Amino acid sequence: MHPRLGALAALRLTDPEAKVAATRATFAGLGAQPLDLRALRTGNDESGVPGRPERPLRVSATAVGKRSPFTPEGRAALIHSICHIEFNAINLALDAAWRFDGMPEDFYRDWLRVADEEAQHFTLLHDHLQAIGHRYGDFTGHDGLWSMCEKTRDDIVARMALVPRTLEARGLDATPLIQAKLRRVNTPDALAACAILDIILRDEIGHVAVGNRWYRWLCERDGLDPIAHYRVLYRRHEAPRLKAPFNLEARALAGFTDEELGALQQP
C-alpha cells in the first residue's frame, strides 16, 4: 500500500490502539525507496475521516471540567486532556500526509514521522493514565485541534500556518507551566508525568519546526510574505488569540524568527 493511503487507512480507524499500531507500521514501512508522487485524492475519500472512538465525549473548550493537578482525580483529568491532544495530533499528522497532493517527498516523510511520534506520545500517556486507574475516554475532551483541521482542509498554507505553528506551538508554552505544577505536587505519579512531558516537549519542538519549514516553503512557492500572510490567515480562520507567557527558547528552537518572537512580546 502507498504510505499516504496507509495514512488514510490509519486516519479512519476508530480504536486508539489500532490507530497507533497502524500509524507506527505505516512509518516503519516507509523505507528508503522514493515515494510515488502521483496524485492520490479521489472524490469520495473523505468518508470516515477522522476515525474517533465514541468516548471521550467531545464538548466545547469552556465545558471541559477543571483539571487541578493537586488531587489524584485532577491529575488523571489533566493527563487525560494531554492524552486527548496527542490522539488528535496523530489524526492531524496523518491528515497532512494524506490530504495534500503535489508536495515534495520530504513533506510526506516529515508528517508520517510526526504521526509516528505522536502515536508514541499517546501510548506513553495512556499507559501512565492506566497506571493511575483510568483509561482514555474516562473524561471529556474538546475538539479545538480538529476543528482547525476542518477549517483549513482546502488550504495547505493555512493548515501549516495555523495547526503546527499556532495551535501546537501553544503546547510549547503550556508544557513547562504544567510541569512546574506537577513538580510542586511531587508525588511519584506526578514526577512520572513530568518525565513523559519532557519527551513530548522535545519532540514537539521538532513538530512545530516541520510546520515552520513547510509554511515558509509554501509562502516562497506562492510569492507570499510569511508574516503578512500569517496575519491574514489568523483572522480569516479565527485562530485562538495567543497569550503570554511564551516559551521563547523552545519557539526559537522550533524555527520562529526573531521578528516573529518580537511580535509576540508586543503589548
d(CA 251, CA 261): 8
Confirm whether 240 is domain-assigned.
yes
Q: From residue 259, give the alpha-carbon distance in Å to each of 63, 245, 248, 256.
A: 36, 17, 12, 8
Confirm whether 200 is domain-assigned.
yes
Q: Is the pLDDT of residue 124 over 90?
A: yes
Confirm whether 45 is domain-assigned.
no
Confirm whether 139 is domain-assigned.
yes
d(CA 224, CA 19): 36
- Nearest one of 254, 221, 2, 211 to 96, comparing CA atoms: 211
Work out the percent of the chain whose per-residue pLDDT is above 70: 97
Confirm whether 122 is domain-assigned.
yes
pLDDT in tens, 164-188: 999 999 999 999 999 999 999 999 9
Return the C-alpha cell found at 155. 488550504
pLDDT in tens, 76-107: 999 999 999 999 999 999 999 999 999 999 99
Residue type, 39: A
Return the C-alpha cell found at 55. 468516548
- Nearest one of 166, 115, 129, 86 to 8, comparing CA atoms: 115
Confirm whether 40 is domain-assigned.
no
Confirm whether 41 is domain-assigned.
no
pLDDT in tens, 43-64: 889 999 999 999 998 887 665 6
Three-point CA angle 159, 165, 166, nearest 5°: 85
The whole domain housing 18 covers: 3-33+50-264
Task: Please state whether the peptide bond connecting residue 226 to the residue before it is cis, i.e. omega within 30 degrees of 0.
Answer: no
Return the C-alpha cell found at 261. 518572537
Give the pLDDT of residue 43: 87
Task: Please state whether the peptide bond connecting residue 176 to the residue before it is cis, i.e. omega within 30 degrees of 0.
Answer: no
With residue 58 as reference, give the H or E element that holds it: strand 58-59
d(CA 17, CA 151): 27
Q: How many domains does the chain have?
A: 1
Three-point CA angle 100, 36, 120, nearest 5°: 65
Confirm whether 42 is domain-assigned.
no
103: left (phi over 0), alpha (psi -120 to 50) or beta: beta
Give the pLDDT of residue 58: 83
CATH number at residue 85: 1.20.1260
d(CA 98, CA 92): 10
